[in-house]
Amino acid sequence: MLTGIVVKELFTSFISITKYVADPYEKLPVITFYLMGGLSSVTMKDIKMLLIPMIIGVIPLFLLRWRFNVLSFGDEEAKSLGVDTSKLRLIAILCSTLITAAAVSISGMIGWIGLVIPHIARMIVGPNFKVLLPSSLLIGGTFLLLVDDVARCAFSIEIPLGILTSLIGAPFFIYLLVKGRRGWI
């Protein structure tokens, strides 16, 4: 957790420097809206460019999803079942990083979906990764489209998606943390 805080602060300082030196009339508004996240500027060309890294990242995760169940037994048990845990974790991290980088490159930073949606999917379909992984993808995409519709239609101006997902995600995550202390998670 401490490592995450340090990395976040490091990148926050890079972003702050970028905002500080940016042209306040042209570049700063673009940076600011990118950091709030949204789909309003996404074009079909962007989606086509996004498909290749998404497919490259998703296919290995789908092919290996049964092995993620074995990881829940612990490293010793997984290794005894023939799963190379360090290699599997490396593949999962690389694929997840590729998928996340591709999505963020066109939509900006839309937070909380990656933290909250897998928990919701687990509540609906259970812990089996054979079902959990595709369910998380579908529920996450559906949630993002619903929030985008609300952002465009419910208010007189379009609210950036990152703001709405934070307003929904942060309280839900607090709920999960409180529930987890009582033995749910």
> b/e for 74-95, b at 16 or more Cβ within 10 A?
eeeebeeeebebeebeebbeeb
CA distances from 55 to 37, 64, 136, 154 (A): 22, 14, 16, 33
CB 104 within 8 Å of CB 42: no
CB 30 within 8 Å of CB 90: no
pLDDT score of 183: 58
The residue with greater pLDDT, 86 or 41, is: 86
Q: How many helices (H) and strands (E) does the chain have?
A: 9, 0
Most confident of 25-34, 133-142, 150-159: 133-142
CB 145 within 8 Å of CB 167: no
Least confident of 23-27, 93-97, 101-105, 173-177: 173-177
Which of the 8 DSSP states describes residue 25? T
Q: Is the pLDDT of residue 97 over 60?
A: yes
- The Cα–Cα gap between 60 and 172 comes to 30
Other CB atoms within a 10 A radius of the CB of residue 184 amount to 10
Token couple for 153: 């239609």
Token couple for 162: 């990152």
pLDDT tens digits for 33-61? 999 999 988 999 999 999 999 999 999 99
pLDDT tens digits for 150-177? 999 988 888 999 999 999 999 998 998 8
CB 72 within 8 Å of CB 127: yes
CB 116 within 8 Å of CB 169: yes
